[in-house]
């Protein structure tokens, strides 16, 4: 199946080339990873309202905006919307240094209140390999898994029969995460549809993903239904999810965004477009310090234009 990337909606460039529009707002979080430091290149320009998320808790966030500190509950759409009102109408949401449970509710809250919304993501230069590789653990990425829980503000499907949904894990390198999530979901094997990032951030990454997830893919025969979507394009993933819903003739999808953040972004967009038919299953990993080194490409996603399109509005009707 040909990829349906959106070249006008996904732009890729060197991190040092990017600068936000003057007069816009920029939401981000720093951190120990080098790829989160690209903001420093234009920090002192003074023509952008910076919103630095300085604390990411399980239920709340704290953000510094022009010398003032604000807090909001992640499950309160109203509190997040009020926080976003402190920023200009044009906003960039940089998900590079943000946890899924923080950027996903921020994205949800920003869509109805901001005229222009872009998402930003910087790929890592290198992932850190584990000194003691085992099957399912090639890179040293996570300390532990906090546990399966919904992303704040997103619906759960409740009691949906096995014949009514397809389970769609978006695969990264950590096969142990797929095993853990699958034990919770206990999805039927013939309706488990893994998605792998092809092309990957780098040429060899799809093969690393296959190797890391080999055991559950083989043991459950999930490899039969594998689909592919460009690793750094949320819109390609969105179209893949729409195709899965159509091809498997299931009314519902349970999606586990345990792969790339751009794939996670695509899953969140799909959940917003077909809210009563999609559940996001997330394991909330605790990330290791030093899990990446260097910076790769910066990806800029035009979220507002996509959300205004018929492709987004009618996704849940396919």
Share of the chain above pLDDT 70, in %: 86
Quote the CA–CA distance of 87 and 64 in Å, as a whole number: 12
For CA atoms 180, 184, 190, 192, give the dihedral sign. negative
In-domain check, residue 2: no
Same domain, 230 and 166: yes
Same domain, 120 and 188: no
In-domain check, residue 226: yes
Same domain, 93 and 140: no
In-domain check, residue 139: yes
Same domain, 119 and 174: no
DSSP string of 32-87? SSGGGGGGGGTGGG--SEEEEEEEE-SSEEEEEETTEEEEEETT-HHHHHHHHTTS
In-domain check, residue 79: yes
Quote the CA–CA distance of 60 and 76 in Å, as a whole number: 9
Confidence of residue 46 (pLDDT cuts 50, 70, 90): confident
Same domain, 243 and 266: yes
CATH of the domain at 263: 3.40.50
Instruction: Note whether 274 and 315 are within 8 A (CB).
Output: yes
Same domain, 138 and 109: no
Instruction: Note whether 156 and 150 are within 8 A (CB).
Output: yes
Same domain, 199 and 75: no
In-domain check, residue 3: no
Same domain, 179 and 237: yes
Quote the CA–CA distance of 297 and 277 in Å, as a whole number: 33
Burial of 88 (C-beta count, 10 Å sphere; 0-12/13-18/19+): middle
Same domain, 150 and 266: yes
Instruction: Give strand ranges (E) for the chain.
Output: 10-14, 25-28, 49-56, 60-65, 68-73, 90-94, 116-127, 129-134, 137-139, 142-145, 165-170, 195-197, 227-229, 252-257, 278-280, 285-287, 292-302
Confidence of residue 16 (pLDDT cuts 50, 70, 90): confident
In-domain check, residue 4: no
- Residues 218-238 pLDDT 10s: 988 889 999 999 999 999 999
Domain count, the chain: 2
Same domain, 138 and 283: yes
In-domain check, residue 179: yes
In-domain check, residue 1: no
Query: Strands 25-28, 90-94: parallel, antiparallel or unpaired by DSSP?
Result: parallel
Same domain, 104 and 171: no
Same domain, 43 and 153: no
Assessment of whether the complete model's pTM goes beyond 0.85: yes
Residue 49, pLDDT above cutoff 90: yes
Confidence of residue 142 (pLDDT cuts 50, 70, 90): low
- Residues 238-254 pLDDT 10s: 999 999 998 988 789 99
The 195-197 sheet, strands edge to edge: 227-229, 195-197, 165-170, 252-257, 278-280
Range of the domain at 180: 128-287
Q: Residue 128 carries which DSSP code?
A: P
């Amino acid at each position: 199946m040909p990829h349906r990337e959106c070249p006008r909606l996904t732009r890729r460039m060197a991190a040092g080339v990017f600068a936000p529009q003057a007069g816009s707002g920029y939401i981000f979080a720093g951190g120990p990873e080098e790829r989160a430091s690209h903001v420093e290149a234009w920090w002192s320009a003074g023509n952008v309202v910076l919103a630095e998320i300085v604390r990411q808790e399980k239920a709340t966030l704290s953000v510094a905006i022009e010398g003032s500190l604000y807090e909001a509950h992640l499950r309160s759409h109203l509190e997040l919307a009020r926080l976003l009102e402190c920023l200009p109408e044009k906003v960039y949401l940089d998900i590079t240094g943000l946890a899924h449970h923080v950027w996903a509710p921020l994205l949800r809250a920003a869509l109805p209140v901001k005229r222009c919304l872009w998402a930003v993501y910087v790929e890592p230069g290198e992932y850190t390999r584990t000194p003691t590789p085992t099957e399912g653990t090639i890179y040293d990425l996570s300390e532990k898994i906090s546990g399966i829980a919904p992303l704040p503000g997103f619906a759960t499907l409740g009691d949906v029969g096995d014949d009514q949904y397809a389970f769609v894990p978006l695969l990264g390198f950590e096969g142990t995460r797929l095993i853990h999530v699958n034990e919770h979901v206990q999805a039927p094997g013939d309706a488990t549809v893994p998605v792998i990032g092809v092309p990957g951030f780098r040429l060899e990454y799809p093969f690393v993903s296959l190797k890391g997830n080999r055991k559950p893919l083989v043991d459950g025969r999930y490899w039969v239904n594998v689909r592919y979507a460009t690793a750094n394009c949320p819109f390609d993933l969105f179209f893949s999810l729409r195709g899965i819903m159509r091809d498997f003739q299931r009314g519902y999808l349970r999606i586990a965004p345990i792969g790339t953040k751009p794939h996670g972004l695509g899953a969140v967009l799909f959940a917003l477009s077909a809210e009563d038919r999609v559940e996001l299953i997330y394991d909330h990993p605790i990330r290791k310090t030093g899990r990446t080194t260097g910076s790769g490409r910066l990806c800029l996603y035009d979220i507002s234009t996509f959300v205004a399109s018929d492709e987004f509005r009618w996704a849940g009707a396919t």
